[in-house]
Amino acid sequence: MALAPAAFRGAKFAVVENQSAGGRRVALHQYPGKEVPWAEDMGREARRFRLHGFVLDGSVKLGGLSVSMQRAALLAACDKPGSGTLDHPTLGKITVALLRWTIGEGLDAANYSEVEIEAVETGQQEFPAVSSTAATNLQKQVGTVQFTRPLTPAGGRLRKALISFAKSTVLALISGKPIGISSLLASATGLLSVAGIRTDLVGRIAGWASRVLWYANDATALYRIAAGLLASDGSTYGRYALGANSGLTATNQSAYADDQTIAGLTSDASVLRQEVKDRAAAASALAASVDLADITDLATAVTDMIDALLDCCADPADAIRILLSLIATTLSGASTSITTLVDLMVCQAAAAALTDAVSRYQPSSTDDAAARIAQIAPVLDGLALQAADAGADDIHAALRDCRAAIVAMLRDAAATAADLRAYAFGQPLPALLIAQQIYGDATRADQLVGQVNPIHPLFFPLAFEALAL
């Protein structure tokens, strides 16, 4: 029985042979000391198709055209970019991407040419359907651990001070006069009609919105959000994914539900990224339309944008990293009075979010707590000095409160933690043995691996630092 003719983008050709290839995408995991590997099924392989056939001069089944016109039609169909429809002789219509084609011309090219086509199935580019109002598993409460950001009193006071100060600051900054002159609010409205002021404001907000979106993508990268995901043995993947915030004895391991999966995290991360995108767009829209004499709404929008970025961080340690990087960011472009105000607004909102992030952070040792204090305190001191220089007394006081709250939270969290001490062994030993020798508790082997980060848990370095108790 002869095969039915095939067609690619409507250009027909006869088929004498077709081959279809596929399979499963399998990730093979092989472990030390295990004879049998684990083959993880990652889904179906893309199906590939190879069709070998011909075009024939005047063939009724192929449309009755001359062989030269059939060749030209096939050539035009194969040279078009993008995906196309393949009428397969046995499988029907399939959307494919063409990989390779061959149209031969021999001595009998006046009435016959061989054709060969190789293609792979393809679909439309798809993204997860998201809604900024959808409930997410990232925001589920597990025990006493809540992933959504807790509002610390100090962080809340700083947010309020930032918003209330915005209105009384903008006119003074634009005029170049000292901040705090109340009469300026009534007399300097005419300055706000200058086109350059609006342009600078819109450009600066757009620059910060772009930067925040970049950090949101970084925070929701799969290898970061999977850091706190629970493994089958109850541990997290932090050792292999930049470190989850497990604290001293791994009691603060995960804010995820026990049944959370990678697929669920991917969808949840999309929702959180969309929230950041929506709030960034709202801030940009306000910058283009808000009455510059009262930018209270813009200050609120900037604060909401930074808070949405904080919600994207599954790991408090990662949130601290991102917020400190955001505060240290210097945007390119001319620095004017209005852009300076926007820069201060973003950095102060990030400081409030930083206070909330620290409230969820569990230091692994007293040394870790001290290192965090030394890392964060100078940053807040610098912001407080800037606020004082600008005459923003309320913001200066709120930043000092945030600094004091962060120091107190880290010291309290590390109150029951041990110091780090140096250990030395005569030969490389496995984590289980070292944990038993140091602590008399082999179950703390994972904790040692997370602290020391050896090349392999079976081969610890000869000298390292770990908890004293």
pLDDT tens for 64-87 read 888 888 999 999 999 998 899 999
pLDDT at position 234 = 52
Is residue 451 in some structural domain? yes
Q: Are residues 318 and 387 in the same domain?
A: yes
Range with the poorest average pLDDT among 92-101, 126-135, 404-413: 126-135
Do residues 61 and 180 both lie within one domain? no
Q: What is the arithmetic mean of pLDDT over 47-52?
A: 93
Reply yes or no on whether the pLDDT at 305 is more than 90: yes
The average confidence (pLDDT) of the chain is 78
Condensed to tens digits (0 to 9), the pLDDT of residues 10-44 reads: 899 999 999 999 999 999 999 888 888 989 888 88
At 65 the pLDDT is 86
pLDDT at 395: 85
Assign 127 a pLDDT band (cuts: 50, 70, 90).
Answer: very low
Q: Are residues 169 and 306 in the same domain?
A: yes
- In terms of Cα–Cα distance, which of 3, 17, 115, 113 is closest to 66? 113
Domain range spanning residue 116? 6-121
- The sign one gets for the Cα dihedral 142, 403, 352, 393 is positive
Q: Which helix (H) or strand (E) holds 406?
A: helix 393-413
DSSP 82-111: S-EEEEETTTEEEEEEEEEEEE---TTTTT
pLDDT for res 169: 52
The answer to whether residue 12 is domain-embedded is: yes
Q: What is the pLDDT at residue 249? A: 44
DSSP codes of every residue in 374-388: HHHHHHHHHHHHHHH
Contacts of residue 226, Cβ cutoff 8 Å, sequence gap at least 6: 237, 241, 262, 265
Residues 173 and 83 in one domain: no
Structural domains in the chain (count): 3
pLDDT surpassing 90 at residue 49: yes
424 and 409 together in one domain:
no
User: In the chain, pLDDT over 70 holds for what percent of residues?
Assistant: 77
pTM of the model: 0.60
In a domain, 311, yes or no: yes
Is residue 197, in this structure, part of any structural domain at all?
yes
Q: What is the pLDDT of residue 165?
A: 60
